[in-house]
A = this chain, B = another copy of it.
Amino acid sequence: MSDVNSTADAPRSPGRPRSVRADEAIIEATLDLLAEGSTIEALSIEAIAARAGVGKATIYRRWPGKDALLLDALRRLKGVVAQPAGHSVRDDLVLLVGAVGHNIDPRAERIMPCLVPEVNRSPDHFQLYQNIIEPRRKLMREVLRRGVASGELRADLDIEVAMALLTGPMLVQRLLRWHPDLDDRLLPEKVVDGVLDGLRAD
C-alpha cells in the first residue's frame, strides 16, 4: 500500500500522534478544490492548507509534495467496480455502460474533466489512468466475449471496437456534456440497445 498514512502495525510513537482529523481535512480540501475547477497545476499546497484549516507544515509532514498528495486524494474517488449479474448480456452491458465515467463521489464528475489535459500531457499520468480503468474494461470485455460465445452477439465481433462503441457515447456525455439535451439516466439503456440492434432498418 502506497498510502502515506498507512495503518499498518502501529509503531509506538513517542510524541503527539498525528491528527486523523487533519489527514481527512487535507484530502477533502484537495478534492474540493479540484471539484471547484482548480487545475492540477494551479493547485497549491498553500491553497489546500488554507482550505483545510491546516498549517502547510502539517501537509509537508505527510507528503513530500503535491504529486504524492494528489495521488492519495484521487485514490479516494475510485469507487468499487460494479459486478455484472451474469444473466443477460444486454443487462450486464447496461450496468457496465452506466458505470462508465460514473463515480461514487459526486465531486468526481467535476474533477475528471480537469484531469484530461494532465493525462494527455504526461505519459506517467496516462499510464496511471489506464491502470485505473483497465479492470473495468476487462470486465466489459469478458461480458462481450460471453455474448459471442453464447451466440447473442456476432461471432466476428471486434471486441475493442465494440467497447469503444459502448463506452464512447457515455463518456463523452458524462465528461463533456457534448449532447446537452440527452438524459443521463436513460442513456445507458439507449446506448446499449442502439448499439446492439444497430441503426439500419431491418
Chain A: interface secondary structure?
helix
Q: Which residues of B contact A168 (CB under 8 A)?
A: 168-173, 178
For window 117-143 of chain A, which residues contact chain B by CB distance below 8 Å?
117, 119-121, 126, 130
How far does the alpha carbon of A114 sit from the alpha carbon of B41 in the complex, in Å? 12
Q: Is the CB of A153 within 8 A of B200?
A: yes
What are some 13 contacts across the A-B interface (CB < 8 A)? A37-B117, A110-B120, A113-B120, A120-B177, A160-B181, A161-B169, A162-B199, A164-B173, A165-B195, A167-B172, A168-B169, A168-B170, A168-B171
**What residues make up the interface of A, taking CB atoms closer than 8 Å to B?**
37, 39, 41-42, 110, 113-114, 116-117, 119-121, 126, 130, 147, 151-155, 157-158, 160-165, 167-173, 175-182, 187, 190-191, 194-202
